[in-house]
Structure 1
Amino acid sequence: MADDDVTAPVPDVLGDGWTVRTLRLRPDARGEALATLVHREPTGPAPRRAVLYVHGFVDYFFQAHVGDAFASHGYDFFALDLRDYGRSIRPSREPNFVTDLAAYSEEIDAAVRLLRADHDQLVVVGHSMGGLVTSLWADARRGAGVVDALVLNSPWLDLRGSWVERVPVTRLVDVLGRFAPRLRVGSLGQHYGSALHSGTGGEWSYDLAWKPLLGFPVRAGWLRTVRRGHARVARGLAVECPVLVLSSDASGPDDRWHDALVTTDSVLDVAQIAARAPLLGPDVTYVQIHGGAHDLALSPERARDRYLEAVLGWLDTRLPAQSA
C-alpha cells in the first residue's frame, strides 16, 4: 500500500480524542473497496506497543471504553472497520458481504504495516467473526513475526445449530455459495441487538445504519466461506504467537427474547468455543467470563470489567514490558 493509499487522520464519529483514516484497497469483483482505521489519539508520547481491534459480523468499532482501557494500560489503540462494514460501508456495495474471508487480509496487512512502522509490539484483538478472520490471518502469516499476541473475544469457530444445519445444510450451502453466492439463506435474530441498544432498553448507543437490529442478509457465498474457515480450524491451525480465547460461561437461546440475553452468549455455543480453542495453535489460554455477553466488552459492568482485567492481566504475563 502506497502512502497515497492512506488518507490523513480526520475526526471520528466517536468524538474528542478519536480520529479515522481511510485505507484504499485494490478493486475487487464489486468495484472500488476501502477500509477505515480508527485511532484513539494518545494524550502523551505514543506508546511503543499497539492494539489492532477487528469487529464481528453486523458490527463495527464503537466500544470506546475498550480503547480507553487499553490506552490506560500503555497501549496505542487502533480498530479496523473492514471493507463494507461500519464506516467503510458505501452505497454502491452490499454491506457485510464477501465470498472469501481471505479478502480481509489486505486491510489487516495494511493496518499492521502502518502500526509496525511505529510500534515494537502488536496485539491483535478479534471479536466473533473477527476472531475467525484474525485466527486464519495469523495462521497464514506464520514465520512473519507480525503479531506478538492474539486475543479472541467469543470467536466464531464453529456453527451453532443442529447436526442437520452443521452437516447436510453446510454441504448444500457449499454448492449454493459457489453457483448462487448472493442467494439469501438466512438472517440473524434481532433479540441480542435489541437487548444491547439504548433505543430498545439496552446500555449501548450505536449507529443502527451500520449495526441494524435486524442485521444484514446472510447470503450463501458468505456462509460458504465462513464454513470453510470453520473447517480449517477443525483441521487445526498453527498460530505461532500466544493466543488468549475468552467466552461467556454459558450460552442462551438465540431465537427468542429471554432475560439472560446479555449475561450469556446468545449468539454462539460456548462449548464449541472451548472445544475449538486448543486447535488454534500450540500456546492457547482459554478463559470463561461469568455473566458475559456474546461481545464480552458489552456485558454488564462487572462482567466486562472481569473481561478487560483478564485480557490486560494475561498480556502483562505474556509480553515483556516496553517503555513508552
Structure 2
Amino acid sequence: MFGPAPDYLGSSWQARTLFLKDDDGGATRPDVAVLVHEADAKERVSRSGTVALYLPGFQDSFFHTEQAAAWAEYDIPLIGLEFRRSGRALRSEASRDDIRDLRVRNEEISCAIDYTKQNLGATHVILIGHSTGGLQAALWASENPGVVSSVILNSPWLDHNGPEYEKTTLTEANDHLGKVSPRLVISRLNPAYARNLHNAWHFNTAHKRVDNLKVRAGFWRTVRRAQADVAAARVRIYEPLLVAHSDRSGNYEEPSPEDLLTSDCVLNVEDMKRLAPLLSPKAQLLEISGGRHDLALSERPARDFYTRDTIEWAIRRRR
C-alpha cells in the first residue's frame, strides 16, 4: 500500500493506493485500486466501530462528500473504493473499464475491507454498491458470507436495460465475441446522464468521463454472465440487504430534462424489484420518489430521503 496522498476532494481527504496481484487479462500495466477517505477516519471508527465502504458504478468515481458528511454525523467514515482500471486507479486510458471477469475485483474489495479492520479498527463494515458496483457488491458478498454487517445496493445493475433481442440474441453472440475480442468497443453510453450530473456536482472528469463512454465486448460479456447468475439465484446474500431504487425509469435512449432530474434514466427499476428477492428472500426494498440513477446524487428532497433512510437502516442492523 502507498499513501496517504492528498486528494482533490479537499484538504481533509486522503487517497491510498492498493497494489493488486490478480489479473483477468485486461491489464496493460500492473493493476492498482485506490481508497479515498477523510483523515479523521480512524478517530471516528474508535467511537463507532463502523465504516461504510462505497463501490462506484461503470465509468464512475467516488466524489460523494455530501454522503460522507451525513455518515460522519454518526461517526461512520464513508470510504470510496476506486476499482482497478477506473477512476483514480486508471493507469492507462487504453484499459479504462476493460474488465473481462467482474470477480477479479473481489481482490480489491477484500483488501479494502481488510484495511478498514486492520488499519482503522473497524468491527462493522457496511457495504454499499451503486449500479455496476451494486452487482460487484452482490457477487462479493455471496462469496464472502459473514464478513460485512449489511449490504446496501443503490440502483444495482441486475439485468440489462434494453429490448428483448439484446437480452437474448445479442447476449449469446457477444458471449463468443467477448471471449475472442474482449477489447472491441461494441457500444457507447448515452452521455446525457453524466453531463447532467456534472452540471450539479463537482467531480474530476478524468476519473468520471462525461463523453466517449465506451462499452467493450469483454466487459459486457462478464456483466451478462454475472446477471445470469443473479437470475438463476446463484448469487445469494446472507447479510441484511437493502435494495434502493427510484420510483420510475426514464427514457434511457433520449431522456427528457425531467427524466434526467427525477428518474432512473440508466436502468429499469422493475428489474431491481423483480430480482432483489433472488439475492435474499429477506431483501428489503426502498423506493425513492424522484430519485436519479445514483440516488445519492438525486435532487432534493429525494436524496435527503435516501440518505436518511439508508443510514438509519444500516445503523439498526449493525452486528
Query: Normalising to structure 2: TM-score of the pair?
Result: 0.93
In structure 2, the CA distance between the partners of 1:43 and 1:103, relative to structure 1 (3 Å rule), is: closer
Deviation of 1:125 (Å): 0.4
Shift, 1:181, TM fit: 1.0
User: Which amino acid is the alignment partner of residue 243 of structure 2?
Assistant: V
User: Is the Cα contact below 8 Å between 2:191 and 2:213 reproduced in 1?
Assistant: no
Aligned to 1:256: 254
Aligned-partner SS, 1:32 = coil
Q: Is 1:226 aligned with 2:223?
A: yes
CA distance in 1, matches of 2:210, 2:315: 36
Matches within 5 A, 1:123-142: 123-142=126-145
1-side partners of 2:304 and 2:139: how far apart?
Answer: 28
* Contact 1:191/1:255 (8 A) holds in 2: no
Counterparts of 1:294 and 1:139, CA distance in 2: 24
Within the candidate set 6, 19, 25, 2:20 is matched to: 25
Task: Tell me the secondary structure at the aligned position of residue 232 of structure 1.
Answer: helix
Taking a change above 3 Å as real, the CA distance of residues 107 and 283 of structure 1, as seen in their structure-2 partners, is same
Q: Would the aligned equivalents of 2:53 and 2:78 in 1 still touch at CA under 8 Å?
A: yes
**Cα deviation, residue 92, structure 1:** 6.6
Q: Does 1:46 align with 2:57?
A: no
Structure 2 CA distance, aligned partners of 1:316 and 1:148? 10
Structure 1 or 2: more helix by fraction = 2
Judge conservation of contact 1:67–1:77 (CA < 8 Å) in 2.
yes
**Matched position secondary structure for 2:301:** helix
Once the 2 structures are TM-superposed, how far is the Cα of residue 77 of structure 1 from its aligned partner? 2.0
Distance 2:282 2:18 in 1: 32
- Tell me how far 1:257 sits from its aligned partner: 3.9
Contact 1:241 1:283 in 2 (8 A): no
Amino acid at match of 1:9: P
Q: Which residue of 1 aligns with 2:34?
A: 36
Query: Could you tell me how far 1:209 is from its partner in structure 2?
Result: 1.9
After TM superposition, give the deviation of residue 183 of structure 1 in Å.
Answer: 1.5
Shift of 1:93: 4.7
Shift of 1:73: 1.8
Choose the corresponding residue for 1:208, options 202, 205, 211. Answer: 205
Number of residue pairs matched?
309
How big is the shift at 1:18? 0.8
How far residue 282 of structure 1 moved from its aligned partner, in angstroms, is 3.4
Aligned to 1:308: 307
In structure 2, the residue matched to 1:3 is: none
- Tell me which residue corresponds to 2:196: 195
Contact 1:84 1:93 in 2 (8 A): no
CA distance in structure 2 between the partners assigned to 1:295 and 1:252 by the alignment: 13
Can you give the 5+ residue segments of structure 2 that lack an aligned partner in the other structure? none
Percent identical among aligned pairs is 37
Local SS of the residue matching 1:107: helix
Please give the TM-score of this superposition, normalised by the length of structure 1: 0.92
Counterparts of 2:212 and 2:134 in 1: how far apart (Å)?
19
Q: Which residue of 1 aligns with 2:185?
A: 184
Q: Distance in 1 between matches of 2:4 and 2:158?
A: 34
Aligned to 1:13: 8
> Contact (CA 8 Å) 1:262, 1:294: kept in 2 or not?
no
Once the two structures are TM-superposed, the CA of residue 215 in structure 1 deviates from its matched residue by 4.4
Q: CA deviation at 1:316?
A: 2.8
- Which range moved further: 121-130 or 41-50? 41-50
C-alpha distance in 1, partners of 2:212/2:291?
Answer: 21
- Taking a change above 3 Å as real, the CA distance of residues 27 and 232 of structure 1, as seen in their structure-2 partners, is closer
Letter in 1 for 2:134: G
Aligned partners of 1:25 and 1:35 also within 8 Å: yes
The alignment partner of 1:45 has SS state of helix
Deviation at 1:44, TM superposition (A): 8.2
In structure 2, relative to structure 1, the CA distance for the partners of 1:89 and 1:43 (3 Å cut) is: closer
Shift in Å, 1:312: 1.1
Which residue of the partner structure matches residue 278 of structure 2?
279
Q: Counterparts of 1:94-173 in structure 2 under 5 Å?
A: 94-117=95-118, 118-142=121-145, 145-173=146-174
Alpha-carbon distance between aligned partners in 2 of 1:96 and 1:318, rounded to the nearest angstrom: 33
8 Å contact from structure 1 (residues 247, 296) kept in 2: yes
Could you report, residue by residue, the CA deviation over 1:131-185 in whole angstroms, capped at 9, with x for unpaired residues?
A: 000101100112xx21110001000000001110111111011111111111111
1:96–1:216 CA contact under 8 A, matched in 2: no
Task: Supply the distance in 1 between the matched residues of 2:188 and 2:231 (Cα, whole angstroms).
Answer: 24
Equivalent residue letter for 1:108: I
